[in-house]
Amino acid sequence: MPVTRWLAEYAWLPEYAEPTPDVLIETDGERITAVTPLTAGSRPPAGVEVFADAVPLPGLTLPGLANVHSHAFHRALRGRTHGGRGDFWSWRDRMYAVADRLDPDTYLALARAVYAEMALAGVTCVGEFHYLHHRPDGGAYDDPNAMGEALVEAAAHAGIRLTLLDTCYLTAGVDGRPLAGPQRRFGDGDAARWAERASAFQPTDGHARVGAAVHSVRAVPADQLGTVADWARYRRVPLHVHLSEQPAENDECRAVHGRTPTALLAEHGVLGPDTTAVHATHPTTGDLALLGESRTGVCLCPTTERDLADGIGPARRMAEAGIRLSLGSDSHAVIDLFEEARAVELDERLRTRRRGHFTPAELLIAATSAGHTALGWADAGRIARGARADLVTVRLDSARTAGVPPVGAFFAAGATDVVQVVVDGRVVVAEGRHLTVDVPAELSASIEAVTPT
């Protein structure tokens, strides 16, 4: 891949609290080799085109966005679950109906389109919380990791990086109820057999890595939590877990174990600096202390949490406890990391009736470098020498962003304002179009193939 020079009208550099005008970014292959803010003195005289070989990036150029929490197949539910009352648990029944219809081929088609939609929105890396492991009857495919292979291939087609968070899912409740119905395809029997299957899957493609996940304290018995945590720590890979998404989960955990889900995870060694708790919508003060002291991160998914009526997590209190925050689109009610980022601030305003909880720079970090770190790609998410060459350029002249100063883009721009995306030095999106995937057509066809009639 040749050396490329990019001339950004504005670029958000890690050492600054707001965007910097006129930045020359040089890349060689998948790495950024130089970043040079151009001052008036470093610009050539009028009429001298020393930057003629630089690719212009009009607008605001950001580091690649990281979508830390994804269930790709949930995209098939968008707009189909709003016909009546209900809660997370009634929505889950609809989700299981889609899960029951997927196989490696249909999952590849759907995930390819979903990941390409993410690329259009400026996402350069996704964490797939993957528990669709087996056939609908619970039996293994000839290749026990065929569904994971489909996701790795889908991300390659879409042009983004993937951390496949291979998820241990063994029981239907904290009390150990067995898996039934569509849930049967999620389970490996016990954590040791989960580890055996997960260990056998080692993608050789440079765009994909494997991490681990505990689905939740509802789905992994307490005496098997340590097996998953030990597997992840031995391999030095990310470990993720759904945590306190619903008050019912907290209540059931207290009834069975006499403690909160966070305390149970801490007791069994799940928390730690390589662990990310997803949601953490209903933590106690003690839970926040445990998360902060263990340096466990939290991935907030505001658009899903509001779509499912989950509640609002205490984001500012988390940050004050030293918890690293990242963002995910989860069920893909929308795929828009700008919306997720500003929702962190706006939800705090609703809770407190006060404004100004997070700076734009803090929200940018959650959407970029913190997210990549949570997915095991600590060398991404910054426009800096040596970092991965991920560049996301946003229009500043659309109906949404016209007249908005660059620093305000996170409170004005949306996914549709992304005009160019570079992933590891390769252009994936140009002029707002994915270069290899017809995203609307492929979404329509792949969703129709798996949606119950």
Residues annotated as part of the active site: 279, 330
Amino acid in position 113: A
First to last CA, the chain: 47
Within 8 A by CB and 6+ apart from 198, the residues are 166, 210, 212, 231
Rounded to 5°, the CA angle 77-82-83 comes to 120
For residue 310, which of 297, 325, 300 has the smallest C-alpha distance? Answer: 300
Three-state DSSP at 68 gives strand
Please list the alpha-helical segments (H only) found in 20-172: 88-99, 104-120, 146-158
Question: In this structure, are residues 344 and 74 in contact, taking their beta carbons and an 8 Å threshold?
Answer: no
Instruction: Give the long-range contacts of residues 135-138, CB within 8 A, separation 24 or more.
Output: 135/103, 135/185, 136/100, 136/182, 136/184, 136/185, 137/184, 137/185, 138/179, 138/184, 138/185, 138/187
Amino acid in position 402: A
The kind and range of the H/E element at 449 are helix 439-450
